[in-house]
Structure 1
Amino acid sequence: MSAKPALLVTAADLAPQALALLNDLEIVYAGKTPTEQDIVALCRQHNPVAIIVRYSKVGAAAMDAAPSLKVISKHGSGTDTIDKAAAEQRGIKVVAAIGANAAAVAEQALALLLACAKSVVALNERMHTGFWDKATHKSIELEGRTVGVIGLGAIGLRFARMANAMGMRILGFDPYAKNLPGHIAQVDLETIWRESDVISLHCPLTDENRELLNSRTLAACKKGVIVVNTARGGLINESALLNAVRSGHVAFAGLDSFAIEPMTAPHPFHGEPRLILSPHIGGVTADAYVKMGVAAAKNVLGVLHNVPASA
């Protein structure tokens, strides 16, 4: 058994640039698809001082199985897979790689928006089967239209900047945001629902905003609205969204996250032509993998050794 303190990574790998920062720790990998029970067992076996969370959940049972645990560091920005209340009760610090994947996720949101507005998927499939729909198809032009951005952290701000560059009007909602750039008009949610042609979600999932998009709020939106979600699936009531898409009230939805992941077949979303789906890969790029790994490693060291953390 190594004399070094253990660090558990809830995945099968970590970027070499991150590992280079962690020479004083014994790295333990949980594998490609660890379960919550796997994490508990590895905590019991290795008693890590730190956990870097990529996949699976880390709850109270894992924390209790690792009495030496001091820090849980998220390989990304969303910490909803970590029981933060349990961590606080046990004096365990929870930190996140804020902003490390901002470019990647904002680009995915823009890609989903464009795929919806320009019917990229449907037209591609038609072209591959021999159709030429130029005389009958009209796409949606985004210049001059209004996008409501919910959540104005690093990702939301970057997406808003992209939308502004395309000539869109930007409405933003974030009760914690301050000193916003001039191209974002800060408004309440009722204004977002009423005025937006596009709604893009970039906020963390909390008990307060769970199913923020539901039958009531979707009904308050413009007919023909486009919904984009690269944040957390729990922000949307999926049955309500599906009904709104089928009725035509929501024209398209581009979704990168879902209430239950991984999505398993059959799923009600499958086969819906106006739902553009991707498997929660907004932050999964080669560059973001390195950025998130390095930030997560620095955050661990920041807690264990008082080394300043910087992305």
Structure 2
Amino acid sequence: MRIAFYSAQPYDKSSFEEMNKEKAYRFLFFDIDLNEQTVKLAEGCDAVCIFVNDHANAKVLERLAGLNIKIVVLRCAGFNQVDLEAAQRFEISVYRVPAYSPEAVAEHAVAMILTLNRKTHKAYNRVREGNFSLNRLTGFNLHGKKVGVVGLGKIGLAFCKIMHGFGCELLGYDPVESTHPDYIINVNFEELLSKSDIISLHCPLVPSTKHMIKEESLALMKNGVMLINTSRGALIHTTDIINSLKTGKVGHLGIDVYEQEEKLFFRDFSEHIIDDDDILRLMSFPNVLITSHQGFFTTEALAEIASITLKNLRDAKNGLKTNNSLT
């Protein structure tokens, strides 16, 4: 099979070639995203492989169908970038990687909490400059704090397990009923917002969750709340979160995702002017920590993503519908 591999990074090439030892697939790696202009690069291929910031909208899928491409595999869990109705209409099979390493993302969320709280990033820079002062580095004990977890899927539950180990009280909200440990207390969304000292988002981006964190929901939160988002950027209304940071309603913000990240993330802008006033404003706050969608980025997760994606390609070629199938 010939696979058009969009948004390819060096680590993608390494992990997929490692899993493709038998050379059952020929990957054509493109470092640009899939969109209406680049879809023509997939001509002559049997499938396309895409990531979080690629665009598989109706027009792109129609053009893929015109190229006789009937398989789209995502090397991620989220699928908001794919028009599934259009995929069904054009008889295109779509597969995803629903759980490559829940612990990887959960651990990154915890790392953001610890960094924001104990200010280790600032202490590191101070000591390198010969400044051993502890002034303005005060944090708080995690033990005994109420931690609200929005989304109790595999990542959310992995996050809860870690925070339970710190001695936190876990408040969980998920509209989909699921089995979870007794130490997670089920609450509604409003109660979670009003009672939590720390809130961590672990849910997909769908119409019902877009901008779930906005002016109205922020108003329900405790003053000085810590908010963490390692899911999808558009869960948070950017303008509203900036206003809440300015007033002090949000005391700490950690984001591994950003609403307009497709224009920035996975690229090097160190020698360029960043033309995004919102991200520049967020970067200016001393109590904001931004990482560029690296929650998934562990050796184990990369290997699992490659392995499952290759299996999805085999299943799609053989017409097998599995739990990873979206259409």
Flag whether TM exceeds 0.5 (same fold).
yes
Greater alpha carbon shift after TM alignment, 88-97 vs 192-201: 88-97
In 1, distance between residues paired with 2:300 and 2:247?
40
Alignment of 1:1-311 (within 5 A): 5-12=1-8, 13=13, 15-20=16-21, 23=24, 25-29=25-29, 31-43=30-42, 45-46=43-44, 48-54=45-51, 55-67=53-65, 68-134=68-134, 137-261=137-261, 262-263=263-264, 264-266=274-276, 267-306=280-319
CA positional deviation for 1:71: 2.7
Go from structure 1 to structure 2 and tell me whether the alpha carbon gap of 1:56 and 1:308 turns closer, same or farther (over 3 Å shift). Answer: closer
**SS of the counterpart of 1:37?**
coil
How many Å apart are 1:135 and its aligned residue?
Answer: 6.0
Going from structure 1 to structure 2, the CA distance change for 1:18 and 1:79 (only over 3 Å counts) comes to farther
- The one-character-per-residue Cα deviations of 1:1-52 (angstroms, maximum 9, x if unpaired) are xxxx4322213325224324760x44322x2233513541123x22x33222
- Following superposition, the deviation at residue 309 of structure 1 comes to 6.3
Identity %: 25
Amino acid at match of 1:19: N
User: d(CA) in 1 for partners of 2:282 and 2:33?
Assistant: 26
Aligned to 2:305, what secondary structure does the other structure show?
helix
Q: What RMSD, in angstroms, separates the aligned Cα atoms of the two structures?
A: 2.2
Shift in alpha-carbon separation, 1:73–1:21, aligned structure 2, 3 A: farther
Change beyond 3 A, Cα 1:70–1:183: farther
> How many Å apart are 1:236 and its aligned residue?
0.2
How many angstroms apart in 2 are the aligned matches of 1:281 and 1:218?
A: 26
Partner Cα distance (1:225, 1:238) in 2? 16
1 CA distance for matches of 2:259 and 2:156? Answer: 20
Secondary structure, aligned partner of 2:122: helix
Instruction: Provide the C-alpha distance between the structure 2 equivalents of 1:222 and 1:21, rounded to a whole number of angstroms.
Output: 55
Per the TM alignment, residue 83 of structure 1 is displaced from its structure 2 partner at its CA by 1.9
**Aligned partners of 1:298 and 1:308 also within 8 Å:** no
Q: How far apart are the structure 1 equivalents of 2:320 and 2:62?
A: 26
Instruction: Provide Cα deviations, 1:131-158, integer angstroms capped at 9, x if missing partner.
Output: 3333664211111101111111111111
- Residues 56 and 135 of structure 1: is their aligned pair in 2 closer, same or farther, counting only changes over 3 Å? closer
Q: Name the SS for the 2:226 alignment partner.
A: strand
Cα pair 2:35 2:55 within 8 Å, conserved: yes
- TM-superposed CA distance for 1:178, in Å, is 1.1
Whether contact under 8 Å (2:144, 2:168) holds in the other structure is: yes
Q: How far apart are residue 127 of structure 1 and its match?
A: 3.0
**Cα distance, 1:200 vs. partner?**
0.4
**Number of aligned positions between the proteins:** 303
1:27 to 1:132, Cα distance in 2 relative to 1, 3 A? closer
Change (3 A) 1:51 1:157: same
The answer to whether the 8 A contact 2:118-2:137 is kept is no
User: Residue 19 of structure 2 aligns to which amino acid in structure 1?
Assistant: A
What stretches of structure 2 of length at least 5 have no aligned partner? 265-273
Q: Does the 8 Å CA contact 1:87/1:93 hold for their aligned counterparts?
A: yes
Q: Could you say what secondary structure the match of 1:11 adopts?
A: coil
TM-score norm. by structure 2 comes to 0.85
Q: Structure 2 counterpart of 1:78, which letter?
A: G
Between 109-118 and 178-187, the greater mean CA deviation after superposition: 178-187
* Cα distance change of structure 1 residues 133 and 255 upon mapping to structure 2, 3 Å threshold: same
Q: Measure how far apart 1:89 and its partner are.
A: 2.1
| In 2: Cα distance, 1:281 partner to 1:59 partner | 25
Structure 1 CA distance for aligned equivalents of residues 237 and 172 of structure 2: 21
Structure 1 runs not aligned, ≥5 long:
none
TM-score, normalised to structure 1's length? Answer: 0.89
Q: What is the letter of the counterpart of residue 309 of structure 2?
A: A
Is the contact between residue 33 and residue 55 of structure 2 (CA under 8 Å) also seen in structure 1? no
Distance across 2 between alignment mates of 1:69 and 1:140: 54
